[in-house]
Amino acid sequence: MTSGKKGIIERLNAGEVVIGDGGFVFALEKRGYVKAGPWTPEATVTHPEAVRQLHREFLRAGSNVMQTFTFYASDDKLENRGQNLKISGAKINEAACDLAREVASEGDAIVAGGVCQTPSYLSCKSEIEVKAIFKKQLEVFLKKNVDFLIAEYFEHVEEAEWAVQVLKASGKPVAACMCIGPDGDMHGVSPGDCAVRLVKAGAQIVGINCHFDPETCVKTVKLMKEGVEKARLKAHYMVQPLAFHTPDCSCQGFIDLPEFPFALEPRILTRWDMHTYAREAYKAGIRFIGGCCGFEPYHIRAIAEELATERGILPPASEKHGMWGSGLEMHTKPWVRARARRDYWEHIAPASGRPKCPSLSTPEGWGVTKGHAELMQHKEATSSQEIKHLMEMQKKAKSSA
């Protein structure tokens, strides 16, 4: 640690609670800086002020980790399906590292460089070719001297293993997260077996991020923990779930929901839901607790507030938030002042205000994964003929759901 701060493993070994940040991709898409579809992070170069501000808001909310905004920042993704940014992956990754470090230096935060699954793997490229992509990103992370590394958002444990093997060669601590549920990865490898393989590959922290809600993700990390302990291995555990309720999701998670990605708002967890999530994660022995898509700074603040006793500190953002709604005591309306108490918010059952909408959806569940023709990626833009074929597949999937 060049910064003089405690490193990630030092913190976890001491039993500290480390709070991650939230979902940059979704948050910046809503703010107008990320394009839904490619979900690439060129905003680190084109709009650094937006990325910097979001980092600062998460830091103020209690985050200990400033994760570089490098999701889908590999060159094969930046050139996929008609994307023509004319900004290299290296330039995006470098800018992301600089922004994360700048904000981390403003508080008690450390910097994590992140890689994720690649179009090349889905297109059945070789281990050598896929690893070369991770190595290219790692070169930037080493140049910028990030504090540790995260391999996240992997649907297939094989690709996650390859990523960990590459990152481990750096000598820096490595965390690895699958985006799977209790049923395992897209080829049926159980969460426990996934965790064992990742630890054996060199990951010191294993866990789950994205695709599912906190309840499902915590359950899945428990299964990973059981697998690691059964294999008589050791690891720390992390969880960074969605901020959307997903009780109706199948193995592919929220991307199978018909609401994905533009109509998910009715599913957003409240800040009070986040208190429950933080407590359950802590009780499960998970000490690196953060968020992914849908998480905003107020969600992270709720985690920090729930675990304030364990951490011995409240985040700066709590200056503007009365615990359990106590700030409502200052409200002008008496019926709102009556809500300034914990037992009110702990037992609230929020209405959606949508009387004609169902409480659950039917996931499309195409069952397509690595090896299927529909997942083969290419640089050319998606053609009208491809869209026609996909619409036919969608119709078939819905009729059989």
CA distance 306 to 318: 11
Query: Is 293 flagged in the annotation as binding?
Result: yes
Q: Which two tokens stand for residue 285?
A: 């022995």
CA distance 224 to 238: 11
Which 8-state DSSP code applies to residue 69?
A: S
Query: Is 251 flagged in the annotation as binding?
Result: no
Which 8-state DSSP code applies to residue 107?
A: T
Query: Is 357 flagged in the annotation as binding?
Result: no
Among residues 287, 301, 305, 244, the alpha carbon closest in space to that of 57 is found at: 301
Q: Which two tokens stand for residue 27?
A: 């948050």
Q: Do 260 and 294 touch, CB atoms closer than 8 A?
A: no
**Burial bucket for residue 12 (CB in 10 Å: 0-12, 13-18, 19+):** buried
Query: Alpha carbon of 76 to those of 79, 97, 373: distances in Å?
Result: 5, 20, 18
Q: Is 116 helix (H, G, I), strand (E, B) or coil?
A: strand
CA distance 269 to 23: 14
Beta bridge partners of 375: none
- Ramachandran area for residue 68 (φ above 0: left; ψ -120 to 50: alpha; else beta): beta
Q: Do 291 and 241 touch, CB atoms closer than 8 A?
A: yes
Residue type, 35: K
CA distance 60 to 301: 8
Q: Do 13 and 208 touch, CB atoms closer than 8 A?
A: no
Q: Go through 133-160 and write b for each residue having 16 or more CB atoms within 10 A of its CB, e for each that does not.
A: bbebbbebbeebebbbbbbbbbbbbbbb
Q: Which two tokens stand for residue 180?
A: 């799977």
Binding residues for Zn(2+): 210, 292-293
Binding residues: 210, 292-293
